[in-house]
Amino acid sequence: MSSSDPNAAGLPARAAALDILQAALSGRAGIEGALAQPQLKALEPRDRGFARALAMATLRHLGPIDAALQAKLNRAPPERVVNILRLGAAQLFVLKTPPHAAVGATVDLSPPSFKGLVNAVLRGLTREPPDLADPDRLAPPWLYARWGAAFGEAEARAVAATIAQEPPTDLSLKDPAQGGALAAELEAQVLPGGTLRTERGGDLTGWPQFEAGSWWVQDASAAVPVRLLGLEPGQTALDMCAAPGGKTLQLAAAGAITTAVDRSGARLTRVVENLARTGLAAEVVEADAATWADPRTFDAVLLDAPCSATGTFRRHPDVLWVASPKDVASLAAVQARLLDSAARRVKPGGRLVYCVCSLEPEEGEAQAEGFLARTPGFALEPMTAGEGGAPEASLKADGTLRILPHHRPGGTDGFYIARFRRAA
C-alpha cells in the first residue's frame, strides 16, 4: 500500500471517522470537539488525515447520501449502523475508493448482525449511483425552504451548491504590507481587503511565518467587520464575544487599544495564545458581555454575536444537521440583549458593527431593524460596494451586508453585517 494513498488507510482510521461523525451529529461539541478526541490524536498522521477527510466528505453530502440510503432500506437500522452506511457511501461516491475496498472495509466496521445488510445496501448503491451534487438535497429541507423565502429560489440553490465544496484556507495578516511577500511564500492569492487564500494542505503550524506570528486563519467574510470600523491607531476598541479571537487580533494589528470580552474562559485561552504568537496586545476579560459591569465607553464596538452559525457550513457542515428552528428563535433573544449592551459602550460619535455568521434573517436583518426602533441616538451608517473587502453582490439597498457563500469565487462564509453610528 502506498502511504500517500488516502484510501490505503485501514480499519482504525475508519473507526475514528465513525467516532467523528457520531460526535459531530450529536450536537454536543460539533466538528471541532469531534476532531479533538484523544483516539483521533493517537492515530498516525496519514490515518488521522483520512479519518477527518472521510467524516467531512460524509457531512458535506449527508442529505443526498441519506436519500440514497433510505431508498434501499425498508426500515431504519440503529443509528450507529446508519452512520457506518453513510461512511461507506461517502467512500464510494465522494472519495472514489474502489468498490471492493470501500464495501469490504465498511462491512468489517459493522456489528456482526448487520454485516449482511451493510454489504447488500452498499453493493446496491454501486449499481445505482446516487447524484450527490443535487443542491435541492444538500441542505436540510427546513433550512432550504427558509433560504428560498429569504433570498429567492435561485439564490437558495446557489447557497446549497456550496455545501459540497471543500473550502480553501483564508489567512489574515498582522502587517498588510507583507501581503505580496507572504502570498508568494504561502502560494496564495490576495483577495479584496487583503485576506490571503491558499489551497495548501497539511499541518498549518509548519507553514511559512506561522511561528513568526505573521498571520492567523480567518475566513475572508469574518475579516470584513473589523475593517468596517475604520479604526485609527490609538483609538479604543471593544470586541464583545471575542473568542476565538481573529477579530481581536485584527483590532490590535490596526493599532487600536483593544479590550476582548468573552464568557468562556476555555475559549479565551485561544485568544491569549494567539496574541502571544503574533506579539499583539489586548486586554482580555472573562465576563458575560450582556451584563458586564465595566462603565467604559469605546470609539469602536464590535459585536460578533452568538448565532445558529448556519453560514459556516463550509468548514462546519455539521451545523446544518444539528441546528433547529427553535435555536434561531432563542438566539435572537440573546442577540437583542447583547446589542443593547453594546450600545451603552459606544462613545458619542463612535461606531458599532453588529455581525452574525448566520444566514437566518431573524438573526441579521430583524436584529438591525429592532435595534434602531428601540435605540434613539443610533443610525445606520451605510457601507459602499466592496468596502472592507466585502463582495459587491453582498451590499443591500439599505447599506448593510448580506454575504452569501457563493458571492466569492471559491466560496466564503455567510454573514450579515450592519454598521451604526452614535450621534455625537
Region of residue 354 (left: phi > 0; alpha: psi -120 to 50; beta: else): beta
**Measured CA distances, 203 to 53, 83, 200, 301, 304 (Å):** 14, 27, 9, 34, 28
C-alpha cell at 379: 443610525
**CB 171, CB 186: distance < 8 Å:** yes
**Measured CA distances, 197 to 169, 239, 278, 315 (Å):** 6, 25, 19, 15
Please provide the size of the chain in residues.
424
Q: 3-state DSSP call for residue 91?
A: helix
CA dihedral for 88, 91, 92, 97, sign (positive or negative): negative
Contacts 24+ apart (CB under 8 A), 90-94: 90/54, 90/57, 90/58, 90/61, 90/65, 91/7, 91/54, 92/122, 92/125, 92/126, 92/129, 93/61, 93/65, 93/125, 93/129, 93/130, 93/132, 94/57, 94/58, 94/60, 94/61, 94/132
CA dihedral for 62, 67, 70, 71, sign (positive or negative): negative
How many Å apart are CA 378 and CA 210, to the nearest integer?
Answer: 40
In the residue annotation, 357 being an active-site residue is answered as yes
DSSP 118-175: HHHHHHHHHHS---TT-HHHHS-HHHHHHHHHHH-HHHHHHHHHGGGSPP-EEEEESS
Q: Three-class SS string for 47-58?
A: HHHHHHHHHHHH
Q: Which residues pair with 217 in a beta bridge?
A: 171
Residues marked as catalytic: 357
